[in-house]
Amino acid sequence: MPTSDDPNDLNRLGAFVAVAQCGGFTAAADRLGVSKARVSLDVQRLERALGTALFTRTTRQVRLTDAGQQLLDDAAPLLAGLGDAVARAAHSSTEVSGTLRIATAVDHAAQHMGAAVAEFAELHPALRITLHASDRVSDMLAEGIDLAFRMGWLRDSSLRAVRLADFEQYAVAAPGYLQRAGVPKHPDELAQHAWVALTLLPAPLTWAFTARNGHTRSVRMNARLQTDSATALRALLINGAGVSVMDRLSVQADITEGRLQRLLPDWRLPSGGVFAVFPPGRHISAAARAFVDFYRDRWPR
């Protein structure tokens, strides 16, 4: 068994590779589904065991030392191969069974999750799956949810979550509305438009736009209409109710087919994340882990 100073501890090597590939400890913790403190401790113990620094750390960035780069070049392909071998063995010898209760937003369920759940159910006929679709954030423990998928930003830092992907956000409106109200040329002009607020967001009326030159502009909107459903928000926008922000995946088809128009393409809104969230204080089921891995590979890039 590895000791506390064993450089061959695969968990510590895995933490080191994750930090190197993700460019930081926080992103590595998200990938591994563990705390940032755990990743930091694993890397420190590996450095102590090797007797050399693997990273140079500043308040803004983490960079590999020469020794760290050499270890990454040598270890990363081996760890990836080991992971593939374990995954193939698990896939060939383990049948996922029991129950799996998944919660996600209505739009997410309709656009992406439904198809993935159907395919996963076909691959695992001994598994019973319940898909809860609601724009309300569920109480995972109280409702017996095994796995939740959330988009945006996680407000609760205690959640056990894995970041699966990032997504862009667009300011959008229907062409008919823009014909009546005009097309905004600068973020400041949005404050004079009919804004439709999504009350699920922590700050639905304040948005920060970043120009290509790095200049940031924060705008406070005025909303006469509001909704607590992303599905309803999209319907309101398509029907000319005003302007709002939605994730790119939800509106890309509407933009392509002319139902909605992207505004201010030279300005960027903050990117959000797609998270797989596990309930606190509970054992993570094999079915939940298997579905996260399955869904990660099918997320549209």
Instruction: Summarize the confidence of residues 93-118 as an average pLDDT.
Output: 85
pTM, full prediction: 0.58
CA–CA separation, 72 and 79 (whole Å): 10
**pLDDT value at 280 more than 80:** no
Does the pLDDT of residue 209 top 90, yes or no?
yes
- Residue 1's pLDDT is 44
In this prediction, residues 253-282 reach a mean pLDDT of 90
Does position 10 have pLDDT exceeding 70, yes or no?
Answer: yes
Measured CA to CA, the distance from residue 263 to residue 243 in angstroms comes to 9
Residue 161 and residue 277 in contact, taking contact as beta carbons nearer than 8 Å: yes
In the sheet with 216-220, reading across from the earlier edge strand, the strands are 216-220, 206-211, 267-268
Closest by CA position to 272, among listed 200, 128, 165, 190: 165
pLDDT digits (tens, 9 = 90+) for 45-61: 999 999 999 999 887 78
Report the pLDDT value the prediction gives residue 200, as an integer from 0 to 100. 83
Average pLDDT over residues 225-252: 93
Delineate the domains of the chain, giving CATH numbers in brackets: 10-92 (1.10.10.10), 94-167+273-298 (3.40.190.10), 169-270 (3.40.190.290)
pLDDT confidence of residue 220: 96
pLDDT at 94: 57
CA atoms of 108 and 149, how far apart (whole Å): 9
Between CA 159 and CA 35 the distance in angstroms is: 10
Q: Which is more confidently placed, 88 or 80?
A: 80
Position 87 scores a pLDDT of: 52
